[in-house]
Amino acid sequence: MARIDITIDVIVAAVCLVLRFLVGISEVWMLFVVVAMAAALSLRRVSPALALAVAWVGAILQVSTGLHPDVANLAILPVLYCTARFGMPVVKWSGLASAILGAVVIAVYTSLGTVFQAVACTARSTSVCGFQGQIPESLFTLFITFLFALVVFVLSWTFGLLAKTWRRARENSEAIAAEQRERLAAQRDVAIEQERTRIARDMHDVVAHSLAVVIAQADGARYAGVKDPGAVDAALVTIASTARQALGEVRVLLGQLRHNQGDAPQPTVADLHPLFGQLRDSGLTVTFSEDGEVVSLTAGQQLAVYRIVQEALTNALRHGDAAREVSVRFDWTAESVAIAVSNAVTSAQNDAAAPAEPRSSHGLAGMSERAKLWGGTFEAGQTGQEYSVRVVLPIAVPDSAEDA
């Protein structure tokens, strides 16, 4: 209970008490009754049980001293209201029982005297008795008084119960709305995290591939510079173009991180041939072949194919035997496209005594995730003197991939 509510209740009770004093109190006992009702009015929200008890004390005092009903008795109505709205179950049902019992007390207290006098006059059969023959009318008055008091008291209690129900319904609605907002926020966080993971994967592919080309070109130029100075210029041109392209792609990815925009141009299957040429300039022999009728892929599938082939060729350049050719093969069918990238391993990797240089776990995980996202399969491993990456992507787009 807020302190402001308690203050308001006390002020209202004090104002009502002052107004009742201004009207005038003729009986001493009525003074105690009025104070008791004012106290119950001020306590109705702080402690509905205590307020109900104080109201009953005032009512019992009023009945026992034979006082007439007073305007102060109206304080019982907000007390009954608060027992239903703020009280615990025991207090709530006690308020309903008090409403029924209070209606009985008021009806009997205000009408029983008239009924007794009518009965006495009928027994004496005196013609001078003003109450002779009025027993049915007095009983009717008793019933009407009870019914009226019951309706007023029970309605006050019912209004409190409805207010409590409305408050709970509002709180439940607010809780459901808050839960929905939290769920939407969690979904946004998951989507943002997935997008950041995708961008990080693209960043890894771009940077790892570009650096591998730059390193290969720099090493080749350093060794060939003594015998063929012209090779140095060609290597520097390749390094510059590769670095410039990588810088542009990194800027796009960083822009996506800053602005959460995913509409930047993305590589497609058609961009694989410039990629092959770039790697050939770095000293890696790449052969490309495809079988079957080429099927149109979605933009997301083309990006997945490009990044998978790019990462596989980058690993071949960094970890494989660059002196031997790397084969890239596409097998097209109406249902799927199978991609195979194979390269020879170095003699050190074939030597059981020498540990093989590990391939990029991030790159392998990225290729696997891209393939699985589109409902495909991914395999990578060394067989004899050859390391192969095999991916099969279905042509049909899974719902989960479209959502992603």
Residue 98 · residue 56 · CB < 8 Å: yes
Whether 204 is in a domain gets the answer no
Which residue, of 180, 205, 222, is where some domain finishes?
A: 180
For residues 1 and 15, give the distance between their C-alpha atoms in angstroms, rounded to a whole number. 21
Are residues 289 and 390 located together in one domain of the fold?
yes
Number of domains forming the structure of the chain: 2
Domain limits at 87? 3-180
Are residues 147 and 274 located together in one domain of the fold?
no
Q: Show Cβ contacts of residue 285 under 8 Å, excluding neighbours closer than 6 positions.
A: 324, 325, 326
Are residues 17 and 123 located together in one domain of the fold?
yes
Radius of gyration from C-alpha coordinates of the chain: 46
Whether 308 is in a domain gets the answer yes
Whether 248 is in a domain gets the answer no
For residues 215 and 221, give the distance between their C-alpha atoms in angstroms, rounded to a whole number. 10
Are residues 175 and 298 located together in one domain of the fold?
no
Which residue, of 157, 180, 203, is where some domain finishes?
A: 180
What pLDDT shows up at residue 133? 47
For residues 40 and 57, give the distance between their C-alpha atoms in angstroms, rounded to a whole number. 10
Are residues 163 and 279 located together in one domain of the fold?
no
Are residues 171 and 37 located together in one domain of the fold?
yes
For residues 79 and 42, give the distance between their C-alpha atoms in angstroms, rounded to a whole number. 9
What pLDDT shows up at residue 65? 86
Are residues 155 and 292 located together in one domain of the fold?
no
Q: Give me the residue label for tokens 């409305």.
A: 166
Whether 192 is in a domain gets the answer no
What pLDDT shows up at residue 248? 63
pLDDT digits (tens, 9 = 90+) for 3-38: 777 888 888 888 888 888 888 887 888 889 899 999
Which residue, of 180, 199, 224, is where some domain finishes?
A: 180
Whether 230 is in a domain gets the answer no
For residue 291, the surrounding DSSP H or E stretch is strand 286-291
For residues 82 and 42, give the distance between their C-alpha atoms in angstroms, rounded to a whole number. 11
For residues 131 and 120, give the distance between their C-alpha atoms in angstroms, rounded to a whole number. 8
Whether 193 is in a domain gets the answer no
CATH number, residue 396: 3.30.565.10
Whether 54 is in a domain gets the answer yes
Are residues 10 and 133 located together in one domain of the fold?
yes
For residues 107 and 113, give the distance between their C-alpha atoms in angstroms, rounded to a whole number. 11
Query: Among candidates 19, 54, 20, which has minimal Cα distance to 37?
Result: 54
Residues of the chain with pLDDT under 50: 116, 119-120, 126-128, 130-133, 261-262, 352-358
CA 325: distance to chain centroid?
53
Whether 199 is in a domain gets the answer no
Residue 320 · residue 345 · CB < 8 Å: yes
Are residues 54 and 154 located together in one domain of the fold?
yes
